[in-house]
Every structure is written in structure tokens, then in C-alpha cells.
Amino acid sequence: MTRMKRGRGMAASWYGIARTATIDRAGAWAELDDGGTGKVVTGVTEIGEGILTVLAQVAADEMGIKPQDVTIGDNDTARSPEAAHAGATRQTYMIGNSVALASREARNVLFEQIADHWEVAAEDLRAFDGEIWAVDTNLRMSMEDAVATCKARGVVPVGSASFTAHGTGLDPVDGSGSPWQAYVFGTQVAEVEVDTWTGEVQVLGIWAAHDVGRAINPRGVEGQIEGGVVQGLGQALMEEYITDKGHAITHGFAKYILPTSLDIPQINSIIVEDPDPKSPLRAKGIGEPALVPTAPAIMNAIYDAIGVRIKTLPATPEKILKTLQDHIPGRNQIAQENRHLRAEAARSGVMRS
């Protein structure tokens, strides 16, 4: 019997974006400030997912300035518009869209004043990378000068907006309804190697293709996918969270096994952009969806490798060995022979030393 077995498995998923079966909403304020810089205020919470970078990119793109010239203001909910929580993969979709709309309004206020100043149509104005110009003319100025001109005319270029996502509950009779406004889809393929002597599983590679709508920050999307895959790998093979009658009885993190850098395989992220038709940014989200297919793909790969299903998580070495012994005829005899061979090898090693 070959000791090392390889297999591949695939899993696909869908995920709803924003809060479920209700109206989700988020608001923002934006201003084009002195020096041609931008300010954004919203109740966003940065918990390491990179939302502040995304919002700076969104505001800069809408205002026509550089991302480094955007300041994201105080997110104290006593002084900022409501943005709700950091969860449900909603930050880019909900807050990103509200910031886009507020920044667009601030830019339009500026455009109206500069168009009047230049005596051109506002729709002929463009702004990018800190400059504003009128198409098919030689009229051009820096955003700093444009803001100064606007304020000299007695107008502050500010904007405010809210973005709303609509969802409904499910009909109790026929199950119809639309719990989310936007959906994302993903597929992952895992390749594993299973040691049939020890029950250990090594994940050799993960290929993860995910629909994110429009990718605002592709490197950030790749990072989110990689982070989700690592979490899914831990769920599939290592993290055993035990409960009894609803109470956690896992002792603590001292013996709670988590993936380390040595456990992480090659992760191949594939970004699929299917723009959302119901939002200004056309973006959706990727935070939680990246985690969903990983464990099923790994479990399918284990099945492909050894021919038996592991039906509970995590797939620990002990669980895999027991499953093999229970399902493969003669497995107990093979296990005894393997133990005998390992003992013989250990004795030979001692004798040589």
C-alpha cells in the first residue's frame, strides 16, 4: 500500500453582501479642501481589512485628486454619519458607495463654480491627479487653485450622501424573496497529500477564483482571499472548537492549533470582475466569501486521495486514521504491519548509531 496519497478537490459558493433581509444603509460627508486635498467623514471601522485605503482611493477617484491627499476623518459615531458595523462583507459595498456619492457631489459643486468661472459647460470639465481641465480647450488649473477660486466665489465644495441596499425576508410559504441586494460567487480547488501511516494532511496548493464585482484595490482583494484561505485551512485541519450543551469546553489558545507560515500552501488568487449593476462603484465584496469554499475543497481533496469521507471538522490525523481503519478492509492488519515496520526502522537507526 502506497503510504503517500495525493488528491484534488473543488468547492463552489455564493454569498450575500450587506445586512440580511432588511434595509442596509450608510452615510458620508466629503469636502474638497484648501490645497486641493480631500476630507471624508463616515462612521467606518478599520479592523485591519484595509477599508481606509479603499475609501481614500474611492474619494480620490471621484474628486480627481491623489489618494495620499485624502484624509479620512474621525469615525466617532457621535460626530459622523451612520455607517453601521464592520461585518457582513458590507464595508466596501455600503460605505464605499456612500463615500463615492458624497465625493461626487463635492466635485460637482466645484465643477459648477469653475464652469461658470471659465464660461464653459460643467459636463465638459474633467479632474484627475490633482488637476482640472475643460475638454477641447486650453483651460486647465491645479485642484488647489480650483478650490481657492471656488471659495473666493463664496462656495465651499462639500457633499453628503447615503447609500441604501434593499433586502426582503423569505416568504414562509414558497420561500421566495431577496434577502440581499448583491451576491458574489467563488470556486476553489485544493491539492493535498495524505500520509496514510500518520494521518497527516499537507495542503500543497489552493486555487481560488472569486467574483468581487469591480476590484477597487486588486492587491487588497488578493490579500483578503489569501487570509480567507488560511482561515479555511485552519478550520479544515486544525482548529477544534469543542462545545457541550452550548458552552465552550476548549481549554484555551495554549493548545488550540492554528495555521503558521509553515502550514500555508501556495495560494493562487484569481479575481473575477462581474460589476454590480445596482451600485455606483460596481464593486461587491470579498471579506467573508473567500473563506467559504476552502474547507469543503480540502475535504473533497482528502476524499479523492484516500477514498473515504471525513464528515466532521477538523480532519485531524487521529480522525483520518480511524476512518481508514473503519472503512478499508484489512486496514487494521496494514496498520499493524506499518507499526512493525516503523519499529524495525527505529531499531535499525539505534543500532547504526
Q: Alpha-carbon torsion 141, 145, 149, 151, what sign?
A: positive
pLDDT at 330: 55
Q: Which residues are paired to 165 by β-bridges?
A: 24
Average pLDDT in the chain: 92
Residue 188 corresponds to which cell in the numbers above?
Answer: 476553489
State yes or no: pLDDT of 351 exceeds 50. Answer: no
pLDDT at 327: 81
State yes or no: pLDDT of 275 exceeds 70. Answer: yes
Rounded to two decimals, the pTM is 0.86
pLDDT at 337: 61
What value, to the nearest 5°, has the Cα angle with vertex 283 and ends 278 and 284?
A: 85
Q: What is the average pLDDT across 156-169?
A: 94
Q: Which residues are paired to 38 by β-bridges?
A: 32, 70
Burial class (CB in 10 A: 0-12, 13-18, 19+), 127: buried
pLDDT at 169: 86
pLDDT, tens digit, for every residue of 200-240? 999 999 999 999 999 999 999 999 999 999 999 999 999 99
pLDDT at 349: 64
Instruction: Select 4-16+184-327's CATH number: 3.30.365.10, 3.30.300.210, 3.40.50.2000, 3.50.50.60.
Output: 3.30.365.10
pLDDT, tens digit, for every residue of 289-303? 999 999 999 999 999
Distance CA 239, CA 256 (A): 6
Instruction: Select 19-164's CATH number: 3.40.50.1370, 3.30.930.10, 3.30.300.180, 3.30.365.10.
Output: 3.30.365.10
pLDDT at 352: 47
Quickly state the pLDDT bin for 334 (edges 50, 70, 90). low
pLDDT at 335: 59
Q: What is the average pLDDT across 29-49?
A: 93
State yes or no: pLDDT of 144 exceeds 50. Answer: yes
The enclosing H or E element of 235 equals helix 218-237
Which of these ranges, 118-132, 154-168, 226-240, 250-264, has the smallest mean pLDDT? 250-264
Active site positions, annotated = 288
- Could you give the 3-state DSSP secondary structure of residue 153? coil
Quickly state the pLDDT bin for 146 (edges 50, 70, 90). very high
Helix spans in 34-185 (H): 51-63, 96-118, 143-152
Q: Is-contact 159 102, C-beta < 8 A?
A: yes
- In degrees and rounded to multiples of 5, residue 26 shows phi and psi of -155, 145
pLDDT at 331: 53
State yes or no: pLDDT of 1 exceeds 60. Answer: no
Q: What residue ranges do the domains of the chain occupy?
A: 4-16+184-327, 19-164
pLDDT at 153: 97
pLDDT at 184: 95
Q: Is-contact 168 177, C-beta < 8 A?
A: yes
pLDDT at 353: 42
Q: Is-contact 181 284, C-beta < 8 A?
A: no
**Tally: H helices and E strands in the chain:** 7, 13
pLDDT, tens digit, for every residue of 93-125? 999 999 999 999 999 999 999 999 999 999 999
Distance CA 39, CA 158 (A): 9
- With a CB cutoff of 8 Å and minimum separation 6, the contacts of 333 are none
pLDDT at 258: 92
pLDDT, tens digit, for every residue of 239-253? 998 899 999 898 888
Distance CA 32, CA 40 (A): 9
